């Protein structure tokens, strides 16, 4: 693990970056990779920032497959933005070459590192502040789907098998509950019962996919709100990041994760559950943004937009709960019971989404009708 700046400098020296290393600091917002920002001073005095990221090989068993996907996706997006969209004003993610001609470097301890341009003038949000941000984020992830839709599916590797297979996530939780390897079950019994009572919905989207009603597309699969860079001045969504899970999937997974992370004003790990709320205007802005960007959505996709938020919130709640019971081996945690706290907010959100689903469905129906 990197503990000081000279270690960041050592990694940074592996990449083709002009100028002198000035300083580096860790960015702590993601749950998976180790991410650092490094500042370099060029010979003309200009300061440039870069992202250095170590792929979490506990989560991604084949980090080089992740790199092959990310290379393909970033190259394709750069080509498409310039040659098809003719949009040269925005910012896109770019990988910097490393020693040996690859787009990654091997660091101390064998870790696989990559270097991206820092998306300037932007920041990520843990909590959406206004409906413009919600609309913009959903529009950006919808447009992302359009950007990657013509990458041949066979060229993309499945970096985490069954990533959004909710029934398998449910089955895994039940195994961990049965084994209770850390004696934590007693502290999470109510949450486990809550999940069990919802077993009936876990396979709904996969069943629709298997029946041929929901199309498989190349999707982002991790569309939480802090995976899109938002302009600090204009609140415009500038660039989608965190491309490690780009794989064949359902657009409803992407929309569902947006709902999960954008509708509540409470942090994902909030301990005061009374702060978890469903802000309907945020849901409406998400639906408008996503539908404006994706005019290819079929009827079954549109009909399940509201349900997707509930399912993905349940799925991620299941994953946090299983990780808590397994001894916190997957998600980064910063305090005791952190994964349980996260699971609780997700399940509270599931409850609120259930209570309000008919209103959300009605809104989407009206929106879809107005567009026909
Ligand atoms: P993780 O998989 O751990 O979530 P991310 O790729 O999402 O890793 O990066 C973690 C955080 O680092 C992001 O939430 C964002 O704040 C910041 N970040 C990542 N890439 C960039 C970039 N190219 N420019 C600016 N900030 C970035
Ligand atoms: C992780 O990497 P990050 O923090 O953007 C996780 C997502 C979860 C999310 C929960 C590869 O996302 O699947 O939904 O945490 N990513 C991976 O906040 O497992
Ligand atoms: Mg992330």
Q: Is the pTM of this model over 0.85?
A: yes
* Every domain range in the chain assigned CATH 3.30.200.20: 5-80+94-118
Query: Cα separation of 272 and 284, whole Å?
Result: 25
The rounded mean pLDDT for the chain is 96
Q: Which CATH architecture has domain 5-80+94-118?
A: 2-Layer Sandwich (3.30)
CB 154 within 8 A of CB 230: no
Note the pLDDT of residue 260: 98
CATH code 3.90.1200.10 region(s) in the chain: 131-371
Q: Over the stretch 87-104, which tens digit does the pLDDT of each residue have? A: 766 789 999 999 999 999
Please write the tens of the pLDDT for every residue from 31-49.
999 999 999 999 999 999 9
Average pLDDT (108-128) is 95
Q: Which atom of ligand 2 is nearest to the CA of 56?
A: 11
pLDDT, tens digit, 9 for 90 and up, residues 50-84: 999 999 999 999 999 999 999 999 999 999 988 88
Whether the Cβ atoms of residue 96 and residue 115 lie closer than 8 Å to each other: yes
pLDDT of res. 89: 67
70: nearest Cα among 297, 222, 214, 294: 222
Distance CA 342, CA 331 (A): 11
Length of the chain: 372
Burial of 357 (0-12, 13-18, 19+ CB in 10 A): middle
Q: Is the pLDDT of residue 201 over 90?
A: yes
Q: Which residues line ligand 2 (CB under 6 A)?
A: 30-32, 59, 222, 224, 227, 242, 245, 268, 316
- Tell which CATH architecture fits domain 131-371: Alpha-Beta Complex (3.90)
Position with higher pLDDT, 223 vs 107 = 223
Q: Which atom of ligand 2 is nearest to the CA of 31?
A: 4
The separation between CA 149 and the C-alpha centre of its own chain, rounded to angstroms, equals 18
The percentage of residues in the chain with a pLDDT greater than 90, rounded to a whole number, is 92
Ligand index nearest the alpha carbon of residue 120: 1
DSSP for 225-269, written as a single string: GGGEEEETTT--EEEE--GGG-EEE-HHHHHHHHHHHHS-SS-TT
Which residue in this structure is represented by tokens 């920032």? 49
Which tens digits make up the pLDDT trace of 268-307?
999 999 999 999 999 999 999 999 999 889 999 999 999 9
């Amino acid at each position: 693990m990197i503990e000081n700046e000279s270690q960041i400098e050592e990694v940074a020296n592996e990449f083709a970056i002009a100028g002198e290393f000035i300083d580096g600091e860790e960015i702590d917002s993601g749950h998976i990779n180790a991410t650092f920002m490094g500042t370099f001073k060029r010979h003309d005095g200009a300061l440039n920032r870069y992202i250095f990221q170590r792929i979490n090989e506990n989560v991604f068993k084949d980090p080089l497959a992740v790199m092959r996907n990310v290379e393909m996706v970033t190259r394709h997006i750069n080509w498409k933005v310039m040659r098809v969209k003719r949009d040269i004003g925005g910012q896109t993610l770019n990988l910097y070459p490393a020693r040996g001609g690859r787009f990654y470097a091997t660091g101390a301890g064998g870790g696989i590192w990559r270097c991206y341009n820092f998306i300037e003038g932007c920041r990520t949000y843990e909590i959406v502040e206004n409906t413009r941000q919600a609309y913009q984020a959903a529009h950006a992830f919808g447009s992302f789907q359009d950007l990657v839709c013509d990458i041949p599916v066979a060229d993309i590797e499945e970096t985490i098998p069954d990533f959004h297979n909710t029934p398998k996530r449910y089955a895994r939780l039940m195994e961990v509950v049965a084994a209770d390897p850390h004696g934590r079950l007693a502290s999470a019994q109510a949450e486990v019962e809550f999940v069990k009572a919802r077993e009936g919905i876990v396979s709904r989207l996969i069943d629709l996919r298997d029946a041929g009603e929901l199309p498989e597309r190349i999707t982002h699969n991790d569309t939480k709100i802090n995976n899109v860079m938002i302009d600090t001045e204009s609140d415009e969504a500038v660039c989608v990041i965190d491309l490690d899970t780009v794989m064949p999937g359902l657009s409803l997974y992407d929309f569902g994760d947006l709902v999960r992370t954008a509708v509540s004003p409470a942090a994902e790990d909030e301990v005061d559950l009374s702060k978890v709320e469903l802000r309907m205007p945020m849901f409406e802005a998400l639906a408008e943004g996503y539908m404006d960007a994706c005019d290819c959505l079929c009827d079954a996709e549109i009909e399940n937009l509201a349900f997707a938020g509930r399912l993905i919130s349940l799925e991620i709640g299941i994953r946090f709960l299983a990780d808590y019971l397994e001894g916190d081996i997957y998600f980064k945690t910063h305090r005791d019971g952190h994964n349980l706290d996260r699971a609780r907010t997700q399940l509270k959100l599931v409850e609120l989404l259930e209570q309000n689903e008919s209103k959300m469905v009605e809104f989407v129906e009206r929106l879809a009708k107005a567009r026909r």
